[in-house]
Amino acid sequence: MAKINMATPFDSNKGKYAKTDQIYFKTRRFDEQVIGVRQKHPTTNEPPTANQQAAQTQFATVAAQVKTALADPMQKAALKTEWKQQKKCKTLTGYVFRKMYLNLNGD
């Protein structure tokens, strides 16, 4: 029986690739299928800096505060009335996150 390869070669690259990423094409030996492999830019493979780690910690802290605030029915009702009076944030979670983030930073 003849072996049929249904995979077509990539004519173009589509997807959310960063401009700094490089894309390589490899061919598998056993079925000769072309596979696109994304190789990250060397600078993106470095560990996070101290500022990035601080931002990640701050984000996690605020996310935990938002989760606990929205779990309490009384606090959620009060936040919902505040959210309905403003027009900047489209979601309740986004409004609460913004409020907690600004309170954490002292703004």
In a domain, 56, yes or no: yes
In a domain, 22, yes or no: no
Q: For residues 4-32, give the mean pLDDT.
A: 55
In a domain, 89, yes or no: yes
Total domains present in the chain: 1
Amino acid at 20: T
In a domain, 27, yes or no: no
In a domain, 26, yes or no: no
pLDDT tens-digit readout, 68-92 = 999 999 999 999 999 999 998 899 9
Tokens representing 3? 């072996």
Q: CA 87 to CA 43: how far, in whole Å? A: 39
Tokens representing 1? 């029986």
Q: How confident is the model at residue 10 (pLDDT cuts 50, 70, 90)?
A: very low
Provide the residue range defining the domain that includes 70: 50-105
Furthest C-alpha separation in the chain: 72
In a domain, 57, yes or no: yes
Q: CA 5 to CA 8: how far, in whole Å? A: 8
Q: CB atoms < 10 A from the CB of 24, how many?
A: 9
In a domain, 63, yes or no: yes
Q: CB atoms < 10 A from the CB of 63, how many?
A: 13
In a domain, 54, yes or no: yes
* pLDDT at 62 exceeding the cut of 70: yes
